[in-house]
A = this chain, B = another copy of it.
Amino acid sequence: MKKNYIFSPGPVEVPSEVLLAGARPTVHHRSADFPPIFARCQEKLRKVYVTEAPVAVLASSGTGAVEAAMVSTCSPGDTVVVYNAGKFGERWGKIGRTYGMNVLELQPGWGKPLDPALVENTLRKHPETRAVIVTHTETSTGTVSDMKGLGEVVSRTDAITIIDSVSAFAAEELRQDEWKLDMVCTGAQKALMLPPGLGFASASGKALAAMKDAKSPCFYLDLRRYFKSAEKDDTPFTPAVNLFYSLEQSLDMLLAEGMENNWARHTVLSRASRAAMTALGLTLFSERPSVVTTAVNLPDGVEWGAFNKELKSRGITIAGGQDHLKGKVFRFATLGHYNVFDVVTIVSAVEMALAASGHAFELGKGVAAAMEVLRAYHPARGWVAVEKETRALEPVAALLPS
C-alpha cells in the first residue's frame, strides 16, 4: 500500500475538493455560462492579491505569465533591471535578451536576497529603466526578497515592478496595492493548490499605462488583449475552463482561511522545518529563507542520488539542487494545502533517508524540534498568534522581526 507524498516547491498536493470541482462538466466558453465564472474568480482573485487591479488569467505556465508581463510593457531596446540570484532570476534576463531588451542584471550571488538600496542606486544611474523584474522567492535557493522595500523605491521612479511571485504567491505575505507593486505574476501549481495550467498577471494603473506604447512582438502573451476581454468577463483565447472551476474552489478555501492566517501558517510550518533541520545538525543554504522552500546543504558523506532514492522508495518527492547546486542541496516545501502533520511526515522521512544514507545523528531529534514549534498550534487561536508565539524558536536570525 504505497502512498505518495509531494513536498516539492510546486507542483503541490491538490486538495480533493479542488480536484472534484475541476471534474464538473465543461461549459462552452463562448456561451453565457462562462462570464459569471470568470467574474467570480476575478473578484476573489483580487482579494487574494489584496489589490484593486485587474488580474489576467492565461492558459499558460507561470513563466508564460512573467513573459507576458515583460513583453506587454517593454519594447526592444528598453532598459530592464533583472535580479538574478538563482535559476528563475536567470530566466527573466534570458527572456529580456530574447526580445532585444537592454538587460541590466543585479547578481548578488545565489542564495542572497535582493537589497532594495541596490535597486535604488541602479535606477538612479539608469533613469531610463522601463521595468524592474524581481523574483519574490527564488525557488532554486529558498530565498525571499523584500517586496515592500522594492515597491517603495521603484514606485518613486518611472519604472514599473514586475514581480515573479510564481512560487511565493498565497504563501509569503504580499499586498500589491499597499506595497505599491505594479505587476504580480504567478502560476497554478503552487500555493493556489491547483493542477498546473494557469498563469496570472495583475496590472496596476501605471503598468496599464506602460502597455500603451510597448512594442515587443506578441500575440497570445499580449496582456492588453486579456484586460480588454476581461471588461466583458471573458478571455481573448480559449480559457482552461475546468481549471477555472478548480480555481474558484481554491480561492474560496484561501479566503475562508484568510490571507493573514494563511501567511502565518506558511511561516510556522517552514519555521518548524528549519528548526528540525538545524536540530539534525544541518545548515540552510539561504541567507534569508523563504516560507516556500527549505533549501538544506547536504551533509558530508551523503550523496544526493542515494538520499533521494531512499525518499522516493518511501513515496516522498522532494527537489534537489539546480545547476551548480546539483548534489549540494536538497529542497522541500509545505506550500499550499499543508498542515502540522505534513511537516512531521517530511521531517521524519528526511531523517530516515539520512539514516539510511549513513549520516550519523540521533533519530527523532528533528521531529522533536519540529513538534516543539508545532505544538503551539490550536485552531481556536489561529496561526497569526502561533506565529508570534513561536518566534523564539526561529533558528534563522534574519527572519526574526527587527
Interface residues, chain A, with chain B CB atoms under 8 Å away = 1-3, 5, 15-16, 253, 257, 262, 265, 310, 313-315, 336-342, 344-345, 348-349, 351-352, 355-356, 362-365, 367-369, 371-372, 374-375, 377-380
Contacts and interface: CB of A to CB of B under 8 A. Distances in A.
A352 B339 CA distance: 14
Given A1-B265, A363-B372, A345 B337 contact: no
Contact of A367 (B3, B315, B364): B364
A317 to B, nearest CB: 13
A369 B314 CA distance: 18
Contact of A368 (B337, B341, B367, B377): B367
SS class, residues of chain A in contact with chain B:
helix
Quick one: copies of this chain in the complex?
2
Contacts of A355: 375
B363 A375 contact: yes
Nearest to A13: B3
Nearest to A16: B16
A368 B257 CA distance: 32
25 contacts: A1-B265, A1-B336, A1-B337, A1-B339, A3-B339, A3-B341, A16-B16, A310-B378, A313-B378, A313-B379, A313-B380, A314-B341, A340-B352, A341-B348, A341-B349, A344-B344, A344-B367, A345-B345, A351-B371, A363-B371, A363-B375, A364-B367, A364-B368, A365-B368, A367-B368
Given A265-B1, A337-B1, A340-B314, A348 B363 contact: no
User: Closest 10 CB pairs between A and B?
Assistant: A364-B368, A341-B345, A344-B348, A367-B367, A3-B339, A352-B375, A313-B379, A1-B337, A363-B371, A364-B364
A313 B340 CA distance: 12
A352 B371 contact: yes
A3 B349 contact: no
